[in-house]
C-alpha cells in the first residue's frame, strides 16, 4: 500500500512540475523579455508559490528546469522515433528549438548569462549515436567517435547562436547543422559506406 501511495505521490509531483514548466513557457510566449517571478508562475500554474519553489527552486533555477524539460522532450521524441542515428539526433534537437522559438531564444540567452553548466545536453545522445554508427561499421574503426560528436556539436551550437540572434532563419539553422554532420560523417566513413555518406554532400553540390 505504501509503495502505491509513494508511486501516486511521485506521479502527482511530476504532473505539477510539468504544469509549472508549461506555465513558465506560456509567460515567456506572452512577454518574451519579462522578468518571470515565482508568484507569476504559481498564479499561471494554479499552484502555491511554495510548490514552485519546492519543485523548481528559486528564480535562478528556472532556466535549469527548462533545460531539463528540453532534454526530457528530446529523449521522448527519439524514443518515439525508435531511431538513434546521428541524423535523427541532430534533426530532433533542431526541431525542438525551432518549434518554440520565443521560449528557445530566451532560454539560450539566459543560459549564456547565467553561466549555467548543463548536466544533460544533446551531445550525450549525439556521442551515443556516433558510437552506434561506428559499431555498425558505417565509420572507420580507428576514429574517435566522441571527437566526431564534439566537432558536430560545436558547429551546431554556432548555428544555434546565429539563429538565436536572428542572423539565420529556421531553414538555414537546419541546413548548417546537417551540413556539419554530413561533412564529419563523410570524412570518417568506412570504405563500404563512403558513397552512401557522401551522397548528401553531392546532392547539395547539384542544387
> Model's pTM, two decimal places?
0.86
Say yes or no: 29 and 74 in one domain: no
Say yes or no: 73 and 170 in one domain: yes
Residue 147: which domain range?
Answer: 59-206
Say yes or no: 10 and 82 in one domain: no
User: What does the pLDDT profile of the chain (207 residues) look like in tens digits?
Assistant: 554 555 788 888 888 999 999 999 999 999 888 888 899 999 999 999 999 999 998 888 888 888 889 999 999 999 988 867 999 999 999 999 999 999 999 989 988 776 666 678 899 999 999 999 999 999 999 999 999 999 999 999 999 999 999 999 999 999 999 999 999 999 999 999 999 988 888 887 554
Instruction: Label each residue of the chain as H, E or C.
Output: CHHHHHHHHHHHHHHHHHHHHHHHHHHHHHCCCCCCCHHHHHHHHCCCHHHHHHHCCCHHHHHHHHHHHHHHHHHHHHHHHCCCCHHHHHHHHHHHHHHCHHHHHHHHHHHHHHCCCCCCCHHHHHHHHHHHHHHCCCECCCCCHHHHHHHHHHHHHHHHHHHHCCCCCHHHHHHHHHHHHHHHHHHCECHHHHHHHHHHHHHHHHC
Say yes or no: 161 and 95 in one domain: yes
- CATH code assigned at 20: 1.10.10
Amino acid at each position: 500500500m505504501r509503495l502505491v501511495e509513494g508511486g501516486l505521490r511521485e506521479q502527482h509531483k511530476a504532473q505539477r512540475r510539468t504544469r509549472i514548466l508549461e506555465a513558465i513557457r506560456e509567460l515567456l510566449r506572452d512577454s518574451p523579455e519579462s522578468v518571470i517571478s515565482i508568484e507569476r508562475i504559481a498564479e499561471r500554474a494554479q499552484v502555491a508559490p511554495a510548490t514552485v519553489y519546492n519543485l523548481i527552486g528559486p528564480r535562478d533555477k528556472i532556466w535549469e528546469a527548462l533545460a531539463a524539460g528540453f532534454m526530457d522532450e528530446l529523449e521522448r521524441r527519439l524514443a518515439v522515433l525508435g531511431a538513434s542515428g546521428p541524423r535523427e539526433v541532430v534533426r530532433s534537437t533542431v526541431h525542438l528549438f525551432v518549434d518554440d522559438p520565443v521560449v528557445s531564444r530566451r532560454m539560450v540567452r539566459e543560459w549564456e548569462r547565467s553561466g549555467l553548466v548543463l548536466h544533460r545536453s544533446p551531445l550525450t545522445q549525439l556521442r551515443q549515436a556516433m558510437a552506434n554508427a561506428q559499431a555498425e561499421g558505417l565509420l572507420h574503426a580507428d576514429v574517435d567517435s566522441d571527437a566526431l560528436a564534439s566537432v558536430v556539436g560545436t558547429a551546431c551550437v554556432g548555428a544555434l547562436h546565429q539563429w538565436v540572434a536572428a542572423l539565420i532563419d529556421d531553414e538555414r539553422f537546419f541546413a548548417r547543422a546537417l551540413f556539419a554532420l554530413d561533412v564529419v560523417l563523410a570524412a570518417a566513413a568506412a570504405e563500404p559506406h563512403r558513397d552512401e555518406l557522401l551522397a548528401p554532400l553531392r546532392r547539395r553540390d547539384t542544387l
